[in-house]
Amino acid sequence: MKKKQIIRVLTLALMWLLAIIAFDVVLNIKVFEKGDWLPYLEYTFSVIVPITTLYCLTIGISEVLFMQTMIRDYPFAIVVLFKTVLQFTVIFILHLGSSYFIRELLPLSPNDAVNKHYSYLTTSLNLVYTIYFFVVSFHFSVYFQISRKFGSTNLYDIIIGTYFKPKEDKRIFMFLDLNKSTTIAEEIGHLKYSRLIQECFVKLTSHIENYNAEVYQYVGDEAVLTWRVSDSSAAKNCIDLYLDFQGSLFNAGDNFSSNFGIVPKFKVGVSYGSVAIAEVGDYKRDIAFHGNVLNTGARLCQLCKEIKEDILFSSDFNILLNENKHHLDYVGDYMLNGRRTLEKVYRLAL
């Protein structure tokens, strides 16, 4: 499991654990006396929570490793409904199994009220329990689908207002643009062309997660990626992502040829430098980047087509990469559109 997947598993497991504890506590408010609460908390956190944590982790793993890939090709509403039912079914089954374990195998609490509570909970699947956890499943499914739509870090930044006021940061940007896109669109038609772009970006997704990149935006047939942590290791990840993505397209060449009549190739421009990051918009809020580094990346992508290179890098990116003892080949000095000074341009070492 990759780092981002582990974080998502732990996040969902924690959310379910808190939801279960909240339900349990509310259930006892009108039942427990003052003297029952301390034994309840001691028994719950020493005996019950470890068992509950295990099945919360199981729910998280089922969501991240299985459900995401199984149903990613379906509309938002169907995905949310399917995941709600599936999550609820998983927790329902786990509840039955863990209930037997708690009831039959775990030691009892010295407090009778606590024992009665867990005896009731493990033998009862009442309407309130069913409705509560179905609603929780629905809300968690909606949250994770929205998070997937906006990007988990973008959604988190918007929620807590990280970039409500503009901030400066150093970022790597990768611009991936489909080569000969206009010609391809004319040859295969715009609907088939759109399906081609979808297929390409689905293949790109796994590499984005593998190399800790984030999607800044999709613009037509272009994807713009960025790295939140921009150091020499991230620069190496950037190159590895490109090579793996190109390899994925090549390996799927027969499939692309049979379905679309072409094997797609992307021209890529990579830049590094300081950007301003700000939350923009009102009706549709988003995180936007502003700065010359984006213009440089986009112009390098265009330059690829002019000088017939597959990928080009800015001088600042080359300096960053050299910190990791990797080097690029110098191509030459170019006056990029929108720039007043020449840019030293690099390509992958042969």
Clarify whether residues 118 and 198 are in a common domain: no
Strand partners, 346: 313, 330
pLDDT at 155: 66
Clarify whether residues 194 and 271 are in a common domain: yes
Single residue among 124, 150, 176 that ends a domain in this structure: 150
Retrieve residue 125's tokens: 């699947």
- Terminal-residue alpha carbon distance, the chain: 32
What's 259's domain CATH number?
A: 3.30.70.1230
b (16+ CB within 10 A) / e for 271-301: bbbebebebeeeeeeebbbebebbebbbbbb
Clarify whether residues 51 and 132 are in a common domain: yes
Clarify whether residues 23 and 84 are in a common domain: yes
Clarify whether residues 144 and 233 are in a common domain: no
Clarify whether residues 278 and 163 are in a common domain: yes
Residue 158 CB partners (closer than 8 Å, separation 6+): 150, 279, 285, 287
Clarify whether residues 24 and 38 are in a common domain: yes
Clarify whether residues 129 and 186 are in a common domain: no
Range of the domain at 325: 156-348
Clarify whether residues 249 and 291 are in a common domain: yes
DSSP alpha helix (H) spans, the chain: 3-28, 34-43, 49-61, 68-70, 76-104, 112-123, 127-150, 152-160, 181-188, 190-210, 232-251, 253-260, 292-307, 315-322
pLDDT at 71: 57
Residue 319 CB partners (closer than 8 Å, separation 6+): none
The model scores a pTM over 0.85: no
Single residue among 150, 166, 187 that ends a domain in this structure: 150
- Tokens 């037509």 belong to 220
Clarify whether residues 95 and 232 are in a common domain: no
Single residue among 150, 178, 203 that ends a domain in this structure: 150
Clarify whether residues 142 and 212 are in a common domain: no
pLDDT at 68: 59
Digit-by-digit pLDDT tens for the chain (350 residues) are 566 777 778 888 888 888 888 888 887 776 778 888 888 888 888 888 887 888 788 877 877 766 655 555 666 677 778 778 877 787 777 777 777 777 777 788 888 887 787 777 766 666 677 788 888 888 888 877 777 666 656 666 767 777 778 889 999 999 999 998 889 999 899 899 999 999 999 889 878 888 889 888 888 889 999 998 888 899 999 999 999 999 999 999 999 999 999 999 999 999 999 999 988 877 777 788 898 999 999 999 999 989 999 999 999 999 998 877 778 999 999 888 777 788 899 999 86
Q: How many domains does the chain have?
A: 2
Clarify whether residues 81 and 193 are in a common domain: no
